[in-house]
A = this chain, B = another copy of it.
C-alpha cells in the first residue's frame, strides 16, 4: 500500500473531530510512551519496528522523507550513535494527544506535541526541541499498532 502523500499537507488544521474510543486512546498513549522511550534508550532498530514495513517519516527540516522501515532504522541509528558520543541525556515527551478515527477502518489520525529535553552530565535540563507531529496509525494483522506515516514539524525552523 502506498503511503498517502501527506507531506505537503499543513499540520494543525483541526479537521473533523472523530475521536477514537477511549480504549484506543489509552492504547495509543501506551504505544507512544513505549515508542519514545526506545528512542531515548538508543534502540533505533526496535524503534523503527513501530513503523510499518513501508512506513514514511517526514520532517519539515529534511528535504526528503525517510521511506521504509530499513531506511528509518538506518538513519535513526546514525543520529543516535552521534548523540551517544555526547555527554547528554535526551528525553522525548509527547503530549496533547488527539486521536481521531482515520478514513479507512482500522486506521487512526493522531496529532500530538513533542518536546525534547536535553540534560548535560552535571547540568540542568533544557528544552531542546518543540515539534508537533501527526501520525497515521494502522493496526497490523498481529493486532499491533504501527505508524504508516509520520510528519513532524520542528517549531522555529526557518
Contact = CB atoms under 8 A, between A and B. Distances in A.
Interface in A1-54: 12, 14, 17, 19, 22-23, 25-27, 29-30, 32-34, 36-38, 40-41, 43, 46
Could you say which of A38, A41, A127 has the most chain B C-beta atoms within 10 Å of its C-beta? A127
Nearest to A25: B26
A63 interface: no
Contact of A14 (B38, B121, B123): B38
Contacts of A29: 25, 97
3 smallest CB-CB distances across A and B, nearest first, come from A22-B26, A119-B155, A119-B156
16 contacts: A14-B34, A14-B43, A22-B22, A22-B23, A25-B29, A33-B97, A37-B111, A89-B130, A89-B155, A89-B156, A91-B132, A117-B130, A122-B158, A124-B129, A125-B127, A127-B127
